[in-house]
Structure 1
Amino acid sequence: MYYSSGSTSAQPSAPAASFLRFQRCAWCKSALFGSRCICPSCGGEDLVWERSHGTGRISDYQYMPKKGSAPRLACRVVMDDGFHVEGRLGGCVMPAPAVGTVVRFERFVDGSVPVFVVCPPAAPRR
């Protein structure tokens, strides 16, 4: 879920912050995006909120046309923390980045939609 940096409750608040939060099962360590009561993997009820590191890889994307403006690029991201999240790719130019491209969370738009940006490629080691 999306949380304000000042929020300590388990209820979602306005996404004024710049980070993502997710739940992790204390029993099987599965990462879950969204607010859940029971782990879908093991049935455990002890779910703990954690702050995401904010980086992941594109697993799928789709151009979404918008009348009167440039198309948006909706993407599904597999976060390094172990959960999946859907959002938008910001600062995108044609052609779209390849599946597997490293992205990082940047901000929220339209209230609660996460926007990701492509991370620059790592410099080669010498």
Structure 2
Amino acid sequence: MRVPIGRRETMGDSLPSQVELSFQRCSWCSTVLFHTCLLCPVCASTDLRRESGPVTGRIVTIEQLGRHGHPARTLTVVELRDGVRVRCEVEGVQAGITEPGTPVNVVGVAPNGVPTFRVTPVKSERW
């Protein structure tokens, strides 16, 4: 079954098991690129390899951005389990309410190459 870009299938609140975060990594400077490039924008190397990364991470920073006349949007930086930091969009995040360190899971990648994450519900511990 094919799902159009920008839409995703979920069953309830669980994430689909086939979601994968793929990116290019430069062999020379280790820069991570989420959009397809021919040259590394940092060192101009042509030696880019395709990798797939972890689908979980933690929020590092949350910023509320807004310009006069445009709707405000939230910019979030997420650190993946392997140490890569990604500027992305996170569903269910509110600046000032959601704290850095909150766990997130990848939901998909937008057509413009920006990864989309969702806040992972934290299981409460029994006292």
TM bracket, shorter-chain basis? 0.5 to 0.7
CA RMSD of aligned residues (A): 3.8
**1:122 maps to amino acid:** K
Aligned to 1:33: 32
d(CA) in 2 for partners of 1:102 and 1:113? 18
Residue 63 of structure 1 and its aligned partner are, at CA, apart by 0.6
Normalising by structure 2, we get a TM-score of 0.57
Aligned to 1:106: 107
Aligned to 2:63: 62
**2:62 maps to amino acid:** Y
**2:113 maps to amino acid:** S
Given the alignment of the two structures, is residue 88 of structure 1 paired with residue 89 of structure 2, yes or no?
yes
Residue 23 of structure 1 and its aligned partner are, at CA, apart by 5.3
Q: Can you give the 5+ residue segments of structure 1 that lack an aligned partner in the other structure?
A: 1-13, 41-45
d(CA) in 2 for partners of 1:51 and 1:101? 22
**Are the equivalent residues in 1 in contact too, given 2:77–2:87 (CA < 8 A)?**
yes
Residue 108 of structure 1 and its aligned partner are, at CA, apart by 2.8
**Are the equivalent residues in 2 in contact too, given 1:15–1:111 (CA < 8 A)?**
no
**Are the equivalent residues in 1 in contact too, given 2:26–2:32 (CA < 8 A)?**
no
Normalising by structure 1, we get a TM-score of 0.58
Residue 47 of structure 1 and its aligned partner are, at CA, apart by 6.8
| Amino-acid identity (%) | 26
Number of matched pairs: 105
d(CA) in 2 for partners of 1:15 and 1:94? 24
